[in-house]
A = this chain, B = another copy of it.
Amino acid sequence: MLIRSEFDIQFQLPAPITMLAMLDLHPSVDALAREVTPLVVEHVDGGQMSRLVTEKYQDSYGNRCSRVHLPAGAVRLSGSNVVEIDGMPDLMKIDAQQAEVRDLPAAVLPFLLASRYCEVDRMCGLASDLFGSVPKGWLLAVTIRDWVHDHVSFDYNSARPTKTALDLFTERVGVCRDFQHLAITLTRAMNIPARYVAGYLGDIRSPYAGAGDFSAWYEVFLDGRWWTMDARHNHPRIGRVLMATGRDATDVAITTTFGVANLTHFYVESNEIDGDGNLILPQGHPEASIAA
């Protein structure tokens, strides 16, 4: 199956600023990529676009990062890619085992610890109250995921940059990243390593659910490998395209700006395409009939 993902994000800047961005595909996806236009940053000056130099580097998690110095005025970030995936829904393994902390690979140990949005240290008691009697392993991981899904409502207007897992636990309303932060925190509190993921997740072979956006999900470490989990969409989905992983949204921010950047345009889409590059739009997509 072919998936085409693309974005076009624009900002108006009152003054020059530096921006960090994680808008390229994760190196682990390279083998699947059929076409890639990495992040392009342009300055729009009187109708003319001039391309800005972006510095590329990898962070300690192996994510592809960009740093770019932006002049005042209008700027545009864009990119696109086509990946070929097997088209299978998220894998499940209901007998996946939870290793003891003594037996985990050292590299995954940091994903048991607290981080900015994941106050593991403050939620251990609670996690134990809620999940202490659930059998360890896969069942524990999905029980936590589903608990979050069932106890939190989604509302775009409830987003705020400082909202932590504990905040969400008390407020019970949040956006994608908040759902995952709460699930990650409770999962770590039960001694299963969990990490945050940013990527594309279109409504592929699913009903159209509204204008596109980047998505967040998370991964849990069981049976010696990472498995995809998603507390917002807690049933197996097709077509996740990985961009970055880290401890939480601090590590994996689509953009981090040092100064004021006012968002003026935001377009993200991720859709199936056929072999000729024609879009296969989800049922209910406003342009679906045109495409048909």
Contact = CB atoms under 8 A, between A and B. Distances in A.
A123 interface: yes
A67 B250 contact: no
Copies of this chain present in the complex amount to 4
A36 interface: no
Main secondary structure of the interface of A (DSSP, over half): mixed
The 3 tightest CB contacts between A and B, nearest first, are A122-B170, A57-B106, A18-B101
26 contacts: A55-B106, A57-B106, A67-B106, A101-B258, A112-B258, A113-B251, A113-B256, A114-B116, A115-B115, A115-B116, A115-B250, A116-B118, A116-B121, A119-B162, A119-B170, A122-B162, A122-B171, A123-B170, A125-B169, A125-B172, A126-B169, A158-B160, A160-B160, A162-B170, A162-B171, A191-B258
A130 B129 CA distance: 9
A167 to B, nearest CB: 8
Interface string A1-21: 000000000000000001010
A276 interface: no
A92 interface: no
Contact of A20 (B109, B115, B161): B109
Given A60-B60, A113-B116, A122-B170, 4 more contacts: A69-B102, A113-B251, A114-B250, A157-B157
Contacts of A129: 130, 151
Contacts of A256: 113
A59 interface: yes
Contacts of A151: 125, 129
A126 to B, nearest CB: 7
Given A119-B162, A170-B162, A171-B160, A110 B18 contact: no
Contacts of A60: 60, 110
Nearest to A147: B129
B113 A250 contact: yes
A198 to B, nearest CB: 15
Given A69-B102, A102-B67, A110-B60, A170 B116 contact: no
Contacts of A194: none
